[in-house]
A and B are shown apart, each in its own frame.
Chain A
Amino acid sequence: MTYSEKVLDHYENPRNAGSFGKDEEGVATGMVGAPACGDVMKLQIKVGKDGVIEDAKFKTYGCGSAIASSSLVTEWVKGKTLDQALEIRNTQIAEELALPPVKIHCSILAEDAIKAAVADYRKKRDGAEG
């Protein structure tokens, strides 16, 4: 398997790896994938009062492309509104990282992770309001 320069860079120097404190204000978590399939991605977003994603962190169990995909989306979602974040498509991720066809599922997983995190945030917010 040969990896693109960008995948290797994210793999070697993951951006925003880690977790937020459990009770931090405005934090939502999206966890997608399954150990049996060989990849699990946890994406956390921290949303400000204005509905803009202030910060993001990830942890990923998976191949280099999965790690790179999640590392990349933590950079991309920062500064975006939730709706803007939802516009990120897996094809953009795959293109940016030059993923080979067998690794496209990693970019799909990253897109799913964004959706799951946003959904979690909205659920929590709606729960708080309701």
Chain B
Amino acid sequence: MLKLPVYLDYSATTPVDPRVVEKMIPYLGEKFGNPASRSHSYGWQAEAAVEEAREEVARLFNADPKEFVWTSGATESDNLAIKGAAHFHAGRGRHLVTVKTEHKAVLDTCRELERQGFEVSYLDVGENGLLDLDVFRAALRPDTTVVSVMFVNNEIGVIQPIAEIGEICREKGILFHVDATQATGKVLIDLSTLKIDLMSITAHKVYGPKGIGALYVRRRPRARIEAQMHGGGHERGLRSGTLATHQIVGMGEAFRLARLEMGTENERVRMLRDRLLDGISSIEHVYVNGDITHRVPHNLNVSFAYVEGESMLMAVTDLAVSSGSACTSASLEPSYVLRALGRDDELAHSSIRFTLGRFTTEEEIDFAVKLLHEKIGRLRELSPLWEMVREGVDLNTVQWAAH
């Protein structure tokens, strides 16, 4: 029996894996200590659990546990990394480079720095969503101190050339921050070879709990940043505040499971994603947004031309999917990411992001395919644009009434 709505929004958040919950429960019960309590065993026990989790997180990336600072999630990590690095190195220069398709946590942070007198270059991507290395190189200046490029885009799932960007940054002595929120558990990330200096990660996209994440801060060569949250001196002074032990334990377990299972899981998910793509390919005028090869296995972002996005979401309420990113879908704006690909507004309006995951089944995919065929057909019957296209009208030649 299918549970409706079918959840195909794993990039917005994932269910917590039952094995992770299992591991968390004692820390919501008898093991309730504050890891900062140095005077009794409750505290020591909590501290040991926190450090064990830190090791598990580090292991997934082949890094040193001491290189991870706990935060409340990737948004805080992005803020800490970018503001912290920009401020620390403000004496050397006040120019940052990032990309137009970054998550709002990066873009809004950069805007804030601009208000403080920093300069930020927002680079364009190609129509496949990827950053061109020549464009990137050309944007670097002698006063560039920080570069921030996401590993995997949250909307279209494309994988940026992080290794190459890292090499360029290292060579020029520029700090390189990577938002790896959507890449964790999907792409192999080996920090012993990748030249990443700062990396934001979060638990709730990797079957861990919400409200916990971390920032990787490289020790050799040492990445230096300024703290953004003060008081108490937790996390070596980089991020104060009582650590949420149960959440940290959950993140550690989630990352351990990711390390052990990502290989087989990604293959299974990729097959399901391809089944979905195959299934909807027979619908006319369906466009995949973003490069299909340089892409994480669980993401499919498609535009159904001549159908408006919001009415489409209303039609597919039996599918939990998103149009645009989860964080911006409250607004009526078309996705800025799709716009940055050069997609015209009409196609940007009619996009759906399907993101699959650990608990997605073949049955769910088949249900989704059938539903989409039905509903897209119905909405197109209602669409004057579809009618015009059928009649051979080129929509670009139509003089639309200003509205």
Contact = CB atoms under 8 A, between A and B. Distances in A.
A109 B401 CA distance: 11
Task: Provide the main secondary structure of the chain A interface.
Answer: mixed
A128 interface: no
Task: Provide the main secondary structure of the chain B interface.
Answer: helix
Contact of B308 (A31, A61, A105, A109): A61
A14 B345 CA distance: 26
B345 A61 contact: no
Nearest to B391: A22
Interface in B353-382: 381-382
Interface residues of B, number: 25
13 contacts: A11-B314, A32-B401, A35-B346, A35-B395, A36-B344, A39-B308, A40-B384, A40-B385, A60-B383, A62-B310, A63-B308, A67-B382, A105-B403
Given A38-B349, A67-B311, A59 B384 contact: yes
Nearest to A17: B382
A17 B378 CA distance: 11
Interface residues of A, number: 31
Given A14-B382, A38-B332, A59 B401 contact: no
Contacts of A62: 308, 310-311
Contacts of A60: 382-384
B307 A61 contact: yes
Interface in A66-98: 66-67
Contact of B334 (A19, A38, A39): A38
B385 A61 contact: yes
Interface of A: 1, 3, 11, 14, 17, 19, 31-42, 59-64, 66-67, 102, 105, 109, 112, 116
